[in-house]
């Protein structure tokens, strides 16, 4: 919400009052214009529309407004603002259905975020195709995308939800996309041009992946991020070249399977400045029991682990936060019971049970929990979703918030139409008003047999308490917009690019050169906005501001078409007189009318 000065003062006063009242400002309130609603008659499938795993969001725009992002199984991807209005050019539609969470990040370092989505076809489960898209905010794909990947069906048959994970693995200033192919044996690492990095894709056959997204973190403390992946039988840790780190892979006992769609979590649990790897497992044949494992970075199992649950199965990623403000991290695990057993466990770093309780509504879903202070009392709370024992007369789900002692918070649960299956809550400040928001979704298939109708809701709530960034330990599925599942990872801010005194026209982009640093030559890419024409100049300057190269062949008029025009320019490290320039830092500047974009590159000889 964009506030004027008087409204901002009033909002701040309300938040201050909430603070004085220890956060007791009533139940979460649905934001104006919400929920988003979609109904599809004659739905051909028995599974729900989505949005699987949870809702993601964009960084704030120049007015401080965020937008939420989600994909659905009807092949659409949506971007909505705080008033529930769709971004121009959206929704976009892909080749198949969306199973995993949408991932958001500025993968090509152009100052604008991209939306990373994996679409699947619905054909023969023994031969599945996937298309990984990297959508710009105008709905077009980056060059090199979509990336089409052929897959084989495995023991799971059709794929389960898996999200892509972003990180700058090779430290070249752009982001790579890491993911595994569920029910397949292929792991992938792709750059922002839709190309596999050296050493990828990686085949672990005859083993296969079990529907768990990867997580990323610097496991071996070499200054570079590594990839952690769970297969049916092993825990893998690879560097960006696809090489096993020392001490890995680790084994998963034969009678246990990784919890489906539950990513490994990363956190420094023992304070030695090295990341531990946490993950849930369960007994597959009769769903009788489960274990939660913690591995040290060297591949050894941490003392006190695994923790065995003899009559319940862990179904979620173990999430991490300091829920009691004692300076030590706790691990929150949600279990589905096979008998009369508590559902939510809070474990210490040595595996001891600090607290446990049973939810009011049984049947906690696979995604979550999240750990955020939602009542402004200075302690982080635990929010989970459930579908069981919520409504007697209608189909509904609910989101429950518990304090550190397992007490249900006032104003909760938040009950929504449809089921909250496969969805976790997402907490954010959507309109930069310093008030905490919650984005959730729900969906249902009405009638088990055709004709079916599928319905979907996205909900945005104002929690009515101030945002406390220090107590947003695990605010969404995958921890962050990159889905790193790394407790210590913070998504770097996206710098909004400006040119002259006005915002750069939408679609006008100058990409980071590749490779960078470079030796012999490098490629510079840029886009021009659609619907406009003008003179374009690309120039290269040295660190002292002296022009060394001017691209005369690309000074031209762009005739408006249906989408942004993409150009590439290769610089071979020579000046306008074809003489080689020396090693060092150079700047390349794109001028389009009165607007300028500038980036930095490094030449090494």
For the segment 476-503, what is each residue's pLDDT rounded down to a tens digit? 999 999 999 999 999 987 744 333 333 4
Question: What are the pLDDT digits (tens) for 68-116?
Answer: 999 999 999 999 999 999 999 999 999 888 878 899 999 988 778 999 9
In this prediction, residue 507 has a pLDDT band, given cuts at 50, 70 and 90, of low
Cβ(359)–Cβ(343) below 8 Å: yes
φ and ψ at residue 340, rounded to 5 degrees: -75, 85
| 451 prior amide bond cis, ω within 30 | yes
Given a contact cutoff of 8 angstroms between Cβ atoms, the answer to whether 343 and 357 are in contact is: yes
Supply the pLDDT for residue 156.
42
DSSP per residue over 3-38, as a string?
Answer: --HHHHHHHHHHHHHHHHTTT---S-EEPTTPPEEE
Is the bond preceding 249 in cis, omega lying within 30 degrees of 0? yes
pLDDT winner (highest mean) among 57-71, 172-186, 424-438:
424-438
Confidence check: pLDDT of 439 > 70? yes
CA 219 to chain centre: 20
Q: How far is residue 473 from each of residues 121, 146, 195, 267, measured CA to CA in Å? A: 36, 34, 34, 11
Alpha carbons 134 and 145: distance in angstroms, whole number: 6
* Range list of H helices, 222-305: none
CA-closest candidate to residue 217, choices 206, 229, 226, 230: 226
- How far apart, in whole angstroms, are the C-alpha atoms of residue 128 and residue 360? 40
Contact 65, 123 (CB under 8 A): no
Q: What's the CA angle centered on 61, arms 33 and 166, to 5 degrees? A: 100
Task: Tell me which residue of 353, 381, 597, 395 sits closest to 468, measured CA to CA.
Answer: 381
pLDDT digits (tens, 9 = 90+) for 318-363: 999 999 999 999 999 988 765 555 589 999 999 999 999 987 655 5
Six-digit token string for 552: 């005369």
Let me know: does 235 contact 250? Beta carbons within 8 Å.
yes
Name the strand (E) or helix (H) holding 550: strand 547-550
- Of 348-357, 388-397, 573-582, the poorest mean pLDDT is in 388-397
383-392 burial, b at 16+ Cβ within 10 Å, e below that, comes to bbbbbeebee
The answer, yes or no, to whether residue 25 has pLDDT greater than 70, is no
Q: Which residues pair with 439 in a beta bridge?
A: 426, 460
Q: For the chain, first and last CA: distance in Å?
A: 52
If 0-12 CB within 10 Å is exposed, 13-18 middle and 19+ buried, where does residue 593 land?
middle
Confidence of residue 123 (pLDDT cuts 50, 70, 90): low
Q: Are 417 and 430 in contact (CB under 8 A)?
A: no
- Distance, in Å, from the CA atom of 559 to the CA atom of 376, rounded to the nearest integer, reads 55
Buried b (16+ CB within 10 A) or exposed e, 416-426: bbbbbbbbbbb
pLDDT tens-digit readout, 29-54: 999 999 999 999 999 877 788 777 88
Would you say residue 530 has pLDDT above 90?
no
Residue 168 scores a pLDDT above 50:
yes
Q: Provide, rounded to the nearest whole percent, the portion of the chain with pLDDT above 70.
A: 83
Question: Residue 388: what pLDDT?
Answer: 67
57's enclosing H/E stretch is strand 56-57
What pLDDT shows up at residue 122? 61
DSSP 150: E
Which has the closest alpha carbon to 53: 413, 315, 441, 444? 441
Evaluate whether 95 touches 119 at the Cβ level (below 8 Å): yes
d(CA 90, CA 76): 9
For residue 295, is pLDDT > 50?
yes
Q: Once rounded to an integer, what is the mean pLDDT over residues 388-401?
A: 82
- Work out the number of other CB atoms within 10 angstroms of the CB of residue 436: 26
Tokens representing residue 239 in the block:
């560097």
Tokens 């009950």 belong to residue: 415
With cut-offs at 50, 70 and 90, classify the pLDDT of residue 414. very high
Computed over every residue of the chain, the mean pLDDT equals 83
With 0-12 CB in 10 A as exposed, 13-18 as middle and 19+ as buried, what is 352?
Answer: exposed
SS3 58: coil
Q: Which of 197-201, 376-380, 420-424, 575-579 has the lowest mean pLDDT?
A: 420-424
Please give the C-alpha separations between residue 438 and each of 79, 115, 183, 247, 401, in angstroms, as whole numbers. 16, 20, 32, 40, 12
Beta strands 435-446 and 453-466 are antiparallel
What pLDDT sits at residue 49? Answer: 81
Beta bridge partners of 542: 586
Q: Which residues contact 290 (CB under 8 A, 6 or more apart)?
A: 256, 259, 280, 281, 282, 283, 308, 309, 312, 313, 314, 335
pLDDT exceeds 90 at position 257: no
| Residue 590 contacts residue 597 (beta carbons within 8 Å) | yes
**Token pair of 200 as six digits:** 């990828």
Give the model confidence (pLDDT) of 360-385 as tens digits: 655 555 567 899 999 999 999 999 98
Which residue has tokens 């050169």? 513
Residue 459 near residue 440, CB atoms below 8 Å: yes
pTM: 0.79
Q: Are 231 and 210 in contact (CB under 8 A)?
A: yes
Q: Which of 140-154, 230-244, 478-492 has the lowest mean pLDDT?
A: 140-154
How confident is the model at residue 559, as a pLDDT? 41
Q: What is the mean pLDDT of residues 280-289?
A: 80
Measure CA 103 to chain center: 4
Tokens of 560: 């408006």
Q: Residue 506: pLDDT above 80?
A: no
At 37 the pLDDT is 96
What is the pLDDT at residue 362? 56
pLDDT of residue 556: 45
CB 294 within 8 A of CB 329: no
């Amino acid at each position: 919400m964009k506030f004027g000065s008087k409204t901002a003062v009033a909002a701040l006063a309300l938040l201050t009052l909430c603070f004085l009242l220890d956060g007791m400002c009533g139940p979460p309130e649905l934001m104006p214009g919400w929920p988003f609603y979609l109904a599809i008659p004659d739905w051909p499938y028995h599974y729900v529309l989505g949005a699987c795993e949870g809702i993601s969001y964009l960084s704030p725009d120049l007015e401080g407004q965020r937008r939420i992002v989600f994909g659905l199984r009807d092949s659409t991807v949506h971007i909505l603002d705080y008033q529930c209005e769709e971004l121009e050019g959206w929704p976009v539609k892909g080749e198949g259905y969306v199973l995993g969470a949408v991932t958001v990040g500025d993968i090509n370092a152009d100052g604008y975020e991209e939306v990373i989505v994996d679409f699947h076809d619905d054909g023969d489960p023994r031969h599945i195709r996937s298309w990984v898209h990297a959508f710009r905010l105008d709905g077009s794909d980056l060059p090199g995308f979509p990336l089409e990947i052929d897959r084989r069906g495995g023991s799971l048959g059709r794929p389960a939800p898996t999200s892509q994970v972003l990180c700058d693995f090779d430290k070249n200033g752009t982001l790579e996309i890491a993911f595994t192919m569920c029910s397949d044996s292929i792991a992938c690492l792709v750059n922002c041009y839709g190309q596999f990095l050296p050493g990828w894709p990686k085949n672990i056959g005859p083993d296969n992946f079990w529907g768990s997204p990867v997580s990323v973190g610097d496991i071996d403390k070499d200054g570079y991020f590594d990839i952690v992946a769970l297969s049916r039988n092993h825990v893998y840790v690879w560097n960006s070249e696809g090489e096993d780190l020392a001490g890995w892979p680790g084994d998963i006992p034969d009678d246990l399977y990784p919890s489906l769609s539950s990513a490994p979590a990363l956190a420094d649990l023992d304070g030695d400045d090295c990341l531990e790897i946490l993950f849930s497992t369960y007994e597959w044949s009769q769903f009788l029991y489960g274990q939660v494992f913690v591995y040290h970075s060297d591949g050894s199992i941490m003392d006190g682990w695994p923790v065995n649950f003899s009559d319940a199965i862990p179904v979620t990623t173990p999430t991490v936060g300091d829920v009691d403000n004692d300076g030590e991290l706790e691990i929150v695990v949600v279990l589905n019971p096979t008998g009369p057993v508590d559902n939510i466990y809070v474990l210490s770093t040595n595996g001891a049970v600090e607290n446990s309780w049973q939810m009011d509504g049984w049947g906690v879903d696979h995604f979550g929990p999240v750990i955020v202070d939602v009542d402004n009392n200075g302690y982080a709370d635990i929010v989970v979703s459930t579908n069981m024992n919520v409504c007697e007369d209608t189909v509904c789900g609910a989101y429950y918030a518990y304090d550190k002692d397992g007490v249900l918070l006032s104003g909760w649960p938040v009950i929504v139409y449809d089921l909250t299956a496969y969805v976790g809550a997402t907490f954010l400040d959507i309109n930069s008003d310093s008030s905490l928001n919650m984005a959730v979704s729900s969906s249902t298939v009405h009638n088990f047999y055709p004709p079916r109708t599928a319905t979907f809701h996205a909900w945005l709530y104002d929690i009515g308490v101030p945002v406390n960034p220090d107590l947003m330990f695990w605010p969404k599925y995958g921890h962050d917009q990159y889905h790193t599942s790394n407790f210590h990872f913070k998504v770097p801010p996206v710098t909004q690019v400006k040119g002259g005194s006005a915002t750069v026209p939408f679609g006008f982009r100058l990409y980071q050169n590749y490779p960078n640093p470079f030796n012999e030559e490098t490629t510079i890419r840029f886009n021009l906005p659609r619907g406009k024409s003008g003179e374009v100049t690309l120039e290269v300057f040295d660190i002292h501001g002296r022009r060394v190269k001017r691209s005369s062949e690309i000074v031209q008029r762009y005739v408006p078409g249906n989408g942004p025009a993409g150009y590439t320019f290769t610089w071979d490290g020579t000046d306008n007189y074809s003489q080689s320039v020396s090693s060092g830092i150079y700047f390349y500047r794109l001028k389009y009318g009165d607007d300028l974009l500038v980036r930095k590159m490094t030449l090494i000889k």
